Amino acid sequence: MTITEKILAAHSGRDEISAGELINAKVDLILANDITAPIAITEFKKIGAKDVFDKERIALIPDHFAPQKDIKAAEQCRMLRDFSREYNLGLYFEVGRMGVEHALLPEQGLVVPGDLVIGADSHTCTYGGLGAFSTGVGSTDVASAMATGECWFKVPESMKFIYYGKLNKWVSGKDLILHTIGDIGVDGALYRAMEFEGEVISPLPMAGRLTMCNMAIEAGGKNGIIVPDNITEQYAKNRAKREYKFYSSDKDAVYVDVREYDCSKIPLTVSCPHLPSNTKPAAELSSIAIDQVVVGSCTNGRIEDIREAAEIIKGKKVNPNVRMIVIPATQQIYLQAVKEGLAEIFVNAEAVFSTPTCGPCLGGHMGILAKGERAIATTNRNFVGRMGHPESEVYLSNPAVAAASAILGRIGTPEEVI
Amino acid sequence: MILKGKVWKFGNNIDTDAIIPARYLNTSDPDELAKHIMEDADKDFPSKVKAGDLITADANFGCGSSREHAPIAIKAAGIQAVVAKSFARIFYRNAFNIGLPIFESEDASGKIKEGDEIEIDADRGVIKNITKSEEYTAKPIPPFMQELISSGGLIEWTKKRIMAS
C-alpha cells in the first residue's frame, strides 16, 4: 500500500485498502475558517447532535476576512466565537492568536504525522508535508464530522513524483510544485494522491514540503504527501501536541503514474494568468510591469519565506510604481520576523508589514487590485478576479522572485538585484 | 427524477472564484450568493439565467476553493443540474452533500450546445438532447452516493446514523 492508503486504512479499522473504495474513516482533526464555518455551524445544528464528537479536535480559525474587514465579515467571525463558547471548544483562535490556518496548525503541533485531517478549506492538503493525510472538504462534511468524528472518502489512486538532480540557486519548493502543475495541468491529478519523493525532497526543509503539498489541490489532487523522515522528526518532536506515527509506502505499492523531474532543468518558475498551470520561466517575463507584490499566504507565509524575501530586499527600496505587502502567516512568525530585524528591513524598503490574514490571496482585503492592475504574489491561485477586479491579473512565484520584482517594478529574478 | 430545461454552456476549468467570487463570501445567504452566480465567467449571467435552466461545462468544473457557496449559489439560482466532462473533487462531494444533481458525461459535455433543451433521467443516468434528438449516458453514480441522494443529503444521512446508534 501507499502511505495514503495506509493512513486511510488505519483510520477506518482496516488492514488492507485499495484505490476506488468508498470508506468511512475517523478523523483526528477538523478545521474550518470564517468563510466555511458559518455554513458548517448552521448545518451542524440541523443534525440535532447532543454535542460535538470531541471538543479538542475541532479548530475554528477566523483568518480569511479577519481582522474583521466589514460588518458582514464580523457577523461571520462572531458565529465561530459564539459556537466555540457554546460548545466549549478548545481550538478557537481569536484575532491576536490566530494565523493563516495551514501555517498555524502545523506550527502549533496540532497536526502531527500520521494524522487524518479534514478541513473546509481546499488548502488543507498542506499537512501532507508532515506525512499526514489531509484534504479539503465542504462545510457540510465538516458539520457531519463535528457530530460523528467521521467522514466519507473515496480512496484515491496515487501518483508518484520523483525529483532528482541539483536545484538551481533560489529555486525552492514553490518552483517545483509550479513546474509540476505546469507539466500535468490543473486537473492532472484529479481525485488522486500526489506523493513527492527523491534526492531533492529528502533534504527539502519542512517549509518547502508544506508549500509543495499545499498546492496539490491546484493540480486537482485530493492530497499531497511526503513520507516522513528525519526532517519530519526534527520538526515534530518539540511541538507535537499528540502522539504521532510515521507511515511509509511499500515497495510494491501501486501508482497509476510515476513522473521524474531533473531539477537542474527547473528554472525559477512563474504561473501566468489565469491558471496555476500556465507556467513560464521568470527570466522570460521581464517585460511584465507590476503594480503590487504580495508575500504571504498558507503557501509561502512561513518564516523561511519572509527571510528569503528580506534577503533580497535588504537595503533596497520597493519600486515607486509598486506597493509591496508582506504578511507573516502567524503571530509567532510575525514576532520572529520582528526579532530578526526582518520587519525593519521591509518597512525601511517602504513595504507594508501586516498582521496575519489570508486577506489579498482571495481578494478579501488588505491589498485588492483595481481594474487592469497586475500583481505578483507568493500565493496559490491566479484565477480571474482572484485578487480583486475581474480584469486584474495575478502572477504566482516564490518569495525571492516576488521580492526581486518589487524592486524592479516588473517581473524579474534575484540575480538582477543582488 | 426527471430534470428538463434549457442549457447554458461553459468551458474548461470553471473555478469556484468564477462561480461565486470571494468578494461576496462575507455572507452565506443563498439568495444573496445567487445574485452573483457565475459573474466572473459571464457578468450578464445572473440576469440571463432563469429558474429551471441547466449548466453544461467541459473538464474540471468547480476547481479551486472548497467553498460550498459555489453549489449553494447554483442551486439557489434555480439551476436544476450541472453536466460536465469532469468535476473537481471537492465540488463533486459538496454537490452530493447538499443535493445539487450533477452528472459526468464526456459525450453530453461535448455535444450539447448553449440553448439546447435537454431532459435528464437522473435515476437511469440518461441525458436526452431534445433539440438535437440525441441521447447520452452519464457515468453511473456509486451506491453510497445514491444513498446520500435518497437520504436527502449528508445532513439527513448523518441524522439517521446518529439516531440509529
Residue A280 has pLDDT above 80, yes or no: yes
Q: What is the mean pLDDT of chain A?
A: 98
Task: Return the C-alpha torsion angle A202, A205, A209, A211, nearest 10.
Answer: -150
Q: Please indicate whether, in this complex, the C-beta atoms of B162 and A147 are within 8 angstroms of each other.
A: yes
Model confidence over A290-303: pLDDT tens digits? 999 999 999 999 99
Chain centroid to CA A229:
21
Model confidence over A135-174: pLDDT tens digits? 999 999 999 999 999 999 999 999 999 999 999 999 999 9
Q: Please indicate whether, in this complex, the C-beta atoms of A363 and B21 are within 8 angstroms of each other.
A: yes
Q: Please indicate whether, in this complex, the C-beta atoms of B26 and A73 are within 8 angstroms of each other.
A: yes
Give the cell for residue A165: 538532480
Instruction: Indicate the pLDDT class of residue B149, thresholds 50, 70 and 90.
Output: confident
Mutate one of A386, A389, A391 to test the B interface: name it (highest B CB count within 10 A). Answer: A386
Angle between helices B143-151 and B154-164 (to 10 degrees): 90
pLDDT of residue A406: 98
Please list every residue in chain B whose beta carbon sits closer than 8 Å to the beta carbon of residue A140: 68, 94, 97-98, 153-155
Which chain A residue has its CA at the smallest distance from B16's CA?
A383
Instruction: Indicate the pLDDT class of residue B69, thresholds 50, 70 and 90.
Output: very high
Q: What is the mean pLDDT of chain B?
A: 95
Q: How far is A287 from chain B, CA to nearest CA, in Å?
A: 27
Q: How far is B52 from chain A, CA to nearest CA, in Å?
A: 24
Residue A363 has pLDDT above 90, yes or no: yes
pLDDT of residue A102: 98
Cβ atoms within 10 Å of A252's Cβ, excluding its own? 6
A250: amino acid identity, one letter: D
pLDDT of residue A41: 98
Label residues A9-25 b or e (16+ Cβ within 10 Å = b).
bbbbeeeebebeeebeb
Which 101-130 residues of chain B touch chain A by CB within 8 A?
A: none
Please list every residue in chain A whose beta carbon sits closer than 8 Å to the beta carbon of residue B59: 187
Model confidence over A53-103: pLDDT tens digits? 999 999 999 999 999 999 999 999 999 999 999 999 999 999 999 999 999
Instruction: Report the predicted TM-score, pTM, of the whole model to 2 decimal places.
Output: 0.97
Please list every residue in chain A whose beta carbon sits closer than 8 Å to the beta carbon of residue B60: 186-187, 190, 220
Backbone angles phi, psi at A25, to 5 degrees: -130, 155
Instruction: Indicate the pLDDT class of residue A242, thresholds 50, 70 and 90.
Output: very high
pLDDT of residue A399: 98
Q: Are B10 and B58 in contact (CB under 8 A)?
A: yes
- Tell me whether B159 touches chain A (CB under 8 Å): yes
pLDDT of residue A146: 98
ipTM of the complex: 0.95
Please list every residue in chain B whose beta carbon sits closer than 8 Å to the beta carbon of residue A70: 26
Give the cell for residue B59: 473538464
**Could you tell me how many residues make up chain A?**
418
Residue A398 has pLDDT above 80, yes or no: yes
d(CA B86, CA B71): 15
Instruction: Indicate the pLDDT class of residue A255, thresholds 50, 70 and 90.
Output: very high
Please list every residue in chain B whose beta carbon sits closer than 8 Å to the beta carbon of residue A385: 17-18, 21, 23, 40
Q: How far is A34 from chain B, CA to nearest CA, in Å?
A: 9
Instruction: Indicate the pLDDT class of residue B141, thresholds 50, 70 and 90.
Output: confident
Model confidence over B12-28: pLDDT tens digits? 999 999 999 999 999 99
Instruction: Indicate the pLDDT class of residue A226, thresholds 50, 70 and 90.
Output: very high
Residue B165 has pLDDT above 80, yes or no: no
Instruction: Indicate the pLDDT class of residue B150, thresholds 50, 70 and 90.
Output: confident
Residue A38 has pLDDT above 80, yes or no: yes
Which chain B residue has its CA at the smallest distance from A50's CA?
B162
Residue A4 DSSP label? H
Residue A404 DSSP label? H
Q: Please indicate whether, in this complex, the C-beta atoms of A187 and B86 are within 8 angstroms of each other.
A: yes
A–B CB contacts, 8 A cutoff, strictly below = 143
Instruction: Indicate the pLDDT class of residue B134, thresholds 50, 70 and 90.
Output: very high
Please list every residue in chain A whose beta carbon sits closer than 8 Å to the beta carbon of residue B86: 187, 190
Q: How do beta strands A133-136 and A91-92 pair?
A: unpaired
Model confidence over A192-205: pLDDT tens digits? 999 999 999 999 99
pLDDT of residue B96: 94
Please list every residue in chain B whose beta carbon sits closer than 8 Å to the beta carbon of residue A79: none
Q: In which residue are the cell numbers 481569536 written?
A: A94
pLDDT of residue B143: 87
Q: Please indicate whether, in this complex, the C-beta atoms of A148 and B144 are within 8 angstroms of each other.
A: no
d(CA B162, CA A143): 13
Q: Please indicate whether, in this complex, the C-beta atoms of B89 and A191 are within 8 angstroms of each other.
A: yes
Residue percentage of chain A with pLDDT more than 70: 100
Average pLDDT estimate for A22-42: 98
Q: Set out the domains of chain A in order of their start, with CATH numbers.
A: 3-260 (3.30.499.10), 269-416 (3.30.499.10)
Mutate one of B90, B109, B160 to test the A interface: name it (highest A CB count within 10 A). Answer: B90
Residue A351 has pLDDT above 90, yes or no: yes
pLDDT of residue B84: 98
Which chain A residue has its CA at the smallest distance from B158's CA?
A144
pLDDT of residue B88: 97
Model confidence over A308-347: pLDDT tens digits? 999 999 999 999 999 999 999 999 999 999 999 999 999 9
Which chain B residue has its CA at the smallest distance from A193's CA?
B89
d(CA A159, CA B114): 36
Mutate one of A117, A123, A362 to test the B interface: name it (highest B CB count within 10 A). Answer: A362
